[in-house]
């Protein structure tokens, strides 16, 4: 049994290493390409040794964009940050208040309303995205931060996670708050919200990455280049037809686009894991 266990451990570690290499090698190639000039990128085979043009490429795209997209990439990163942060704050606010109302308020059909919210998870984004675009167009929200963020603020997943966590809290907390004369919102801010810190952190990570990685929605809502986002902007840097793509600059843009969500995950990793565990109790 010991030998079998050791063999299984070795196999697991080998597969883990292979998986890590499969994920990291393309990223390393992209990093190397970002450090080269365009002529070096097109040499066959491309070198796997980093060059000396990284800061030059980063500075150029930050100020001037790349390829067909001449919008400064720094502006696109700012747009992505505003969009991701607004979606994150909006999703968390709407979801935690919805879950709080469903769990702690007694009103007719409250469970039906919850399951109606939950059933929206069964609808693919493609099914509802074009009707949503039509609504945004009728409300004159195209080419605006409001149009980019407002329709994405509702979240059945976040509402479900908060509901599951709130249901683990003892009823005695609410009864004690009532005896002390606390209003429902006082109970929410003084008791429920502090206990939800780990869940808030977990949802912050999930929703920030969700908002940051949006690609299709900005393409449909935004036609003004000054409101373009980083993820969609990288695609527009790739030349079409007979044009030559500046792959070194595209890869530099890729590196910058990866940094914010990576930093969020690294800084909040401990809270993220604890929040997911607490929501499943």
CB 105 within 8 A of CB 193: no
- pLDDT recorded at residue 127: 77
For residue 250, what are the contacts with CB-CB under 8 A and spacing of at least 6?
66, 67, 234, 237, 238
In the predicted structure, residue 72 carries a pLDDT above the cut 80: yes
pLDDT tier for residue 279 given thresholds of 50, 70 and 90: low
- pLDDT recorded at residue 19: 92
- What does the alpha-carbon distance between residue 227 and residue 148 come to, in Å, rounded to a whole number? 9
pLDDT tens, 212-242?
A: 998 888 888 888 888 888 888 888 887 776 6
- What does the alpha-carbon distance between residue 27 and residue 259 come to, in Å, rounded to a whole number? 13
Average pLDDT over residues 141-158: 84
For residue 247, what are the contacts with CB-CB under 8 A and spacing of at least 6?
33, 38, 41, 42
- pLDDT recorded at residue 268: 81
User: Which carries the bigger pLDDT value, residue 126 or residue 40?
Assistant: 40
pLDDT tens, 2-18?
A: 455 777 888 888 999 99
> Which residue stretches of the chain are H helix?
2-34, 38-41, 54-64, 73-104, 110-119, 125-138, 145-149, 156-166, 171-179, 184-187, 193-195, 197-212, 216-221, 230-237, 247-267, 269-279
In the predicted structure, residue 1 carries a pLDDT above the cut 50: no
In the predicted structure, residue 280 carries a pLDDT above the cut 70: no
- pLDDT recorded at residue 20: 92
- pLDDT recorded at residue 84: 93
- pLDDT recorded at residue 164: 81
- What does the alpha-carbon distance between residue 113 and residue 94 come to, in Å, rounded to a whole number? 14
Average pLDDT, the chain: 83
Which three-class secondary structure state does DSSP give residue 246? coil
**pLDDT-above-70 percentage for the chain:** 94
- pLDDT recorded at residue 235: 84
In the predicted structure, residue 23 carries a pLDDT above the cut 60: yes
Average pLDDT over residues 125-140: 83
pLDDT tier for residue 40 given thresholds of 50, 70 and 90: confident
Give the best-scoring range by mean pLDDT among 6-15, 40-49, 76-85, 164-173.
Answer: 76-85
Fold designation for 73-279: MetI-like fold (1.10.3720)
pLDDT tens, 41-60?
A: 788 788 888 888 889 888 98
């Amino acid at each position: 049994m010991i030998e079998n266990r050791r063999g299984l451990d070795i196999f697991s570690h080998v597969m883990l290493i292979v998986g890590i290499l499969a994920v990291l090698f393309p990223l390393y190639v992209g990093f190397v390409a970002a450090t080269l000039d365009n002529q070096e990128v097109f040499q066959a085979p491309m070198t796997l040794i980093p060059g000396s043009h990284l800061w030059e490429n980063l500075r150029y795209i930050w100020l001037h964009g790349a390829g067909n997209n001449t919008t400064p990439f720094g502006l696109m990163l700012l747009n992505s940050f505003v969009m991701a942060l607004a979606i994150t704050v909006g999703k968390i606010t709407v979801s935690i208040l919805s879950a709080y109302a469903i769990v702690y308020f007694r009103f007719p059909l409250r469970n039906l309303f919850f399951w109606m919210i939950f059933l929206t998870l069964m609808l693919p984004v493609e099914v509802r995205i074009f009707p949503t675009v039509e609504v945004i167009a009728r409300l004159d929200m195209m080419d605006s931060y409001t149009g980019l963020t407002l329709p994405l603020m509702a979240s059945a997943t976040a509402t479900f996670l908060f509901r599951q966590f709130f249901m683990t809290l003892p009823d005695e907390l609410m009864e004690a708050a009532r005896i002390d004369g606390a209003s429902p919102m006082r109970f929410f801010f003084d008791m429920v919200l502090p206990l939800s810190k780990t869940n808030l952190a977990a949802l912050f990570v999930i929703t920030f990455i969700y908002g940051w990685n949006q690609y299709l929605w900005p393409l449909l809502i935004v036609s003004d280049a000054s409101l373009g986002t980083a993820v969609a902007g990288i695609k527009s840097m790739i030349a079409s037809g007979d044009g030559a793509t500046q792959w070194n600059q595209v890869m530099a843009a890729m590196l910058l686009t990866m940094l914010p969500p990576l930093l969020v995950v690294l800084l909040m990793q401990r809270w993220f894991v604890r929040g997911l565990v607490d929501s499943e109790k």
